[in-house]
Amino acid sequence: MGLVLLSLLGACATTGGESASDYGSLMSQAESAVSAGRVDAALADFADAAKADPTRKEPWVRSAQLQFDKSNYARAIVAAEEVLQRDPDDLVADGILTVSGFRIANHSLQRLQGRGALASETARREAETLAGTLKATMGDDILAPEEPQKAAAARRPRPARRASAPAAQSPSRPAASSASSESGGQSGADPFKNIGGN
């Protein structure tokens, strides 16, 4: 009976050693594929390495980075979530998760806006929640309208074109009040316009 137990323990130790050896060689093979520009092969090798040692976060970190670089944001999010299950404090995974989420949301908002679907009450509530979260996280100026200097510079050509119109306007009306009445419509501007699709 003792011999059977010893042989089983030896088999487990051998399997564990082979698994660690497989993990290391798969990670090396994956990094070589990345260096050679064979991203799909690298992703397959990282997936195999993750299976060889399910406790390690590194294959998932590299997969998340590669998927993000390929603009596969949904897959990058999945890989980043795998990293965070193994290490909740991993900043690379958090960054990939956050930026990928923003890019997916931005793309979806643009698509919905083009189809006129943002008028729904549900979409408005979600947009307000997102805007509140962005302000709380990054400060009030993240959703602020354009700087006054930029807005004024954008409006400068307009008075020059109107100067050639007949002088029916009252000369006592200052140009500043005209410009301020034009900018009044910008208070309801899209708060997401400052979130680029970088």
**Among residues 132, 116, 72, 113, which one has the least CA distance to residue 96?**
72
Which pLDDT score is estimated for 180? 37
Domain presence at residue 52: yes
Which pLDDT score is estimated for 144? 58
Domain presence at residue 57: yes
> Rounded to an integer, what is the distance from CA 146 to the centroid of its chain?
23
Domain that holds residue 85: 18-139
Give the mean pLDDT per block of 10 residues along the chain (198 residues): 48 52 94 97 97 97 97 97 97 95 86 70 79 79 55 48 42 38 40 41
C-alpha 20/C-alpha 7 separation (Å) is 20
Tokens of 143: 């959703």
Which pLDDT score is estimated for 11? 47
Domain presence at residue 59: yes
Domain presence at residue 43: yes
Which pLDDT score is estimated for 155? 47
Instruction: Provide the domain count of the chain.
Output: 1
Domain presence at residue 60: yes
Geometric angle at alpha carbon 37, from 32 and 39, rounded to 5°:
85
Which pLDDT score is estimated for 62? 98
Q: What is the DSSP string of 32-96?
A: HHHHTT-HHHHHHHHHHHHHH-TT-SHHHHHHHHHHHHTT-HHHHHHHHHHHHHH-TT-HHHHHH
Which pLDDT score is estimated for 170? 40
Domain presence at residue 49: yes
**Among residues 126, 142, 71, 138, which one has the least CA distance to residue 100?**
71
108: left (phi over 0), alpha (psi -120 to 50) or beta: alpha
Domain presence at residue 56: yes
Which pLDDT score is estimated for 188? 40
Write the CA distances from 8 to 11, 13, 17, 112, 126, integer angstroms.
Answer: 5, 9, 14, 60, 56
Geometric angle at alpha carbon 139, from 138 and 140, rounded to 5°:
135
Tokens of 152: 């004024």
Instruction: Give the CATH number for residue 61.
Output: 1.25.40.10
Give the CA count within 13 Å in the CB-facing half-sphere of 178.
14
Q: What are phi and psi of 51, to 5 degrees?
A: -75, -35
Domain presence at residue 175: no
